[in-house]
Structure 1
Amino acid sequence: MTALMQSDISGFSCRRGKVRDVYDLGDKLLIVATDRISAFDWVMPTPIPGKGRLLSSLTKFWLNWLKVPNHFLSDNLNSYPPEFHEYADQLNGRAMLVRKTEVIPFECVVRGYLAGSGWKEYKQSLSVCGVKLPSGLRESDRLPEAIFTPATKAETGHDENVSSEYMAHAIGKETTDELARRSIEIYNRAASYARLRGIIIADTKFEWGLLPSGEIILIDEVLTPDSSRFWPMDHYQPGRGQPSFDKQYLRDWLESTGWDKQSPPPVLPEKVVAETLAKYTEAYERLSR
């Protein structure tokens, strides 16, 4: 399988994120999910062949299943501007035509389990992003209820966890409360569905955007291994880190190499590429069947 490290559409400017290439078409965007993979705020020099197609397919599955207002318009090449039609090899299966919005500048993170930066913060303060939690919780414990823990958005650097109060000061309490409510509701629905398929969604992040009418809609990727922690239920054991269907395998390998996270990351061995792709594929197949 040929990997797509970056798309290249002649005549159109492109904004490149860590994984996605975004082409501005006026009132619409064309989003291309490449096979790039990032970790520790670095894009790896080695792509994961087919990863972008898996991410796009899983996002489209969730948008169809959730049935909440969102930005998706089409993934049919014929619906794209004519100039894009000759680039089918770059676009098929990994591109989405979407409505353009004013992006709300916060990641709407929902946590159902205590992991990652949330676990680190809890050990220091018994809270996560200002949300007080019971004492005595262990790493990977399920929380009494899902909590909303927003983060600032960063195109290239590190997202920073913030409190709901910080977010409300920036965009208003009413909007913050509404986004928290919607994000938690979607997470709870998706988490219940995933558990029936043997996957724990430990946490995830959503992005939202404003249409010119003022309507808030769900945008970007949704409930993918890039934006979520997916754990296999049959290996779940609180009190430690969990095996996962997401980038944790890659992170663990990078930690074992002695890489300093300040200089360009190492080339990924074939085994790491294959194992990472296998985990993404299994998550997609379990959830979408």
Structure 2
Amino acid sequence: MTLDLPLVARGKVREVYDAGPGRLLLVASDRISAYDHVLPTPIPDKGRVLTQLSVWWFQQLAPVLDAFGATHHLLSATDVPAAVAGRAVLVRRLEMLPVECVARGYLAGSGTAEYARTGSIRDVPLPPGLVEGSRLPEPVFTPSTKAAAGEHDEAIDFARVESLVGAARAAELRELTLALYRRGAEIAAGAGILLADTKVEFGLADDGGLVLGDEVLTPDSSRFWPAASWSPGSPQPSFDKQYVRDWLTSTGWDRVSPPPALPDDVVAATRDRYVAAYEQLTGTTFR
């Protein structure tokens, strides 16, 4: 795909184009990444699902942002080139903060392994007796650094966030991230989905105000579990790319060499999960 706009950056999933003063065009591809690698096999319609679900969530979460004096970066999902309609959004250009803000309401993934070793996640102590899939007593903030392309994100404690952005801003990030998670979890629960965890990113407006950027509450940035089948003690069925991670693990891939191609059945099942997340959350048919 070639657009008649200057390319600013190319990430694992998105291309970012200069769309004029103070504006960027974000285009979501069908690429999928896992364990810091872009896989060689795309997932059909994935970019459209990510884009359209993010647009829906920005609308749902606007009242939470308003309560914190914040906003989101979305300007338009329709004023985009026809060649990328449905998978692109026009957004505000921001100074992005160097922190990935992660909120967890359930024990899963790397959090389970860390808890097993230390009884905590980062600097957040947790009660004994939790297992994979357990609901946490309260949602917790477990941030990481935002690594440069080709590097790994690094889990950090709250003191490191304070050193990166200042104490007042760090506290604001933590409270807003948890508020967004709680509202997202409430909406998802109404659709029969558990929001196990999610990652959000923020930038700064010209006046220094916080702006929610990137994507929000998608199967790429969140763990979504069917509420009806939730059963702590083992990995949960999911509507997200954990299915792809699990398949890669089953192949014995070392996470260092180039990743294997996904077979057709894994591609189809992954697409089905992304579309199911969109349709069940929004209550609309994906087109």
Scaled to the shorter chain, the TM-score interval is: over 0.9
Distance 1:92 1:118 in 2: 37
Distance 2:241 2:137 in 1: 26
Which residue of 2 is the match for residue 134 of structure 1?
127
TM-score (norm. length: structure 2)? 0.93
Select the residue among 269, 274, 277 that pairs with 1:283.
277
Say if 2:66 is the partner of 1:64.
no
Which residue of 2 is the match for residue 4 of structure 1?
none
Distance 1:92 1:200 in 2: 30
Which residue of 1 is the match for residue 205 of structure 2?
211
Select the residue among 39, 46, 51 that pairs with 2:41.
46
Distance 2:150 2:95 in 1: 19
Which residue of 1 is the match for residue 239 of structure 2?
245
Select the residue among 27, 52, 57 that pairs with 2:22.
27
Offset of residue 158 of structure 1: 2.0
Whichever residue aligns with residue 89 of structure 2, its letter is: M
Which residue of 2 is the match for residue 146 of structure 1?
139
Distance 2:256 2:243 in 1: 20
Which residue of 2 is the match for residue 75 of structure 1?
77
Q: Residues 5 and 17 of structure 2 are in contact (CA less than 8 Å); yes or no, is this contact kept in structure 1?
A: no
Say if 2:38 is the partner of 1:36.
no
Say if 2:158 is the partner of 1:164.
yes
The 1:33/1:162 distance shift into structure 2, 3 A limit, reads same
Distance 1:20 1:44 in 2: 14
- Unmatched runs of 5 consecutive residues or more in structure 1: 1-6
Whichever residue aligns with residue 74 of structure 1, its letter is: S
Which residue of 1 is the match for residue 176 of structure 2?
182
Say if 2:265 is the partner of 1:271.
yes
Select the residue among 70, 76, 99 that pairs with 2:92.
99
Select the residue among 68, 86, 103 that pairs with 1:110.
103
Which residue of 2 is the match for residue 3 of structure 1?
none
RMSD: 1.2
Whichever residue aligns with residue 44 of structure 1, its letter is: L
Say if 2:218 is the partner of 1:231.
no
Offset of residue 220 of structure 1: 0.6
Offset of residue 192 of structure 1: 1.1
1:199-249 Cα offsets, whole Å, 9 max, x none, are 100000110000111111100100000000001111111111111100111
Q: Secondary structure at the match of 1:231?
A: strand
Offset of residue 11 of structure 1: 5.1
Select the residue among 255, 258, 266 that pairs with 2:252.
258
Whichever residue aligns with residue 108 of structure 1, its letter is: C
Which residue of 1 is the match for residue 10 of structure 2?
16
Range moving further from structure 2, 252-261 or 199-208: 252-261
Distance 2:5 2:174 in 1: 40
Q: Residues 7 and 15 of structure 2 are in contact (CA less than 8 Å); yes or no, is this contact kept in structure 1?
A: no
Q: Residues 17 and 156 of structure 1 are in contact (CA less than 8 Å); yes or no, is this contact kept in structure 2?
A: no
TM-score (norm. length: structure 1)? 0.92
- Unmatched runs of 5 consecutive residues or more in structure 2: 66-70
State the number of aligned residues. Answer: 274
Select the residue among 101, 113, 123 that pairs with 1:120.
113
1:168-208 Cα offsets, whole Å, 9 max, x none, are 01111100101111110111011011111111000001100
Say if 2:200 is the partner of 1:198.
no
Whichever residue aligns with residue 29 of structure 2, its letter is: T
Distance 2:159 2:205 in 1: 24
